[in-house]
Amino acid sequence: MIEVKKKEGESGSALLFRFSKKMRQSGIMKEVRKRRFRARPANRRKVRLAAQHRSAKKAETARLKKLGLL
């Protein structure tokens, strides 16, 4: 945990700047952002269905190209 105590005669903005600097140096925010947008691993059924869908779309596109409709 990062702790910054106000020095005598220090302004609030200077205190905030020191705190921000310590946060950047510690790498905490980078880790938090990385965890926040972490993608969950897809289950096997979803992966398989997506692959089947892609394969079907590819075959349909090839068929339409062959017929000259695309």
Q: Give pTM, 2 decimals.
A: 0.48
**Residue 70 reports pLDDT greater than 90:** no
pLDDT of residue 44: 95
What pLDDT, in 10s, does the model give residues 24-54?
999 998 898 888 888 888 899 999 999 999 9
Residue 23 CB contacts under 8 Å (≥ 6 apart), including other chains: 2, 29
Domain boundaries, the chain: 10-39, 43-70
Residue 26 CB contacts under 8 Å (≥ 6 apart), including other chains: 2
**What are 21's two structure tokens?**
């600097």
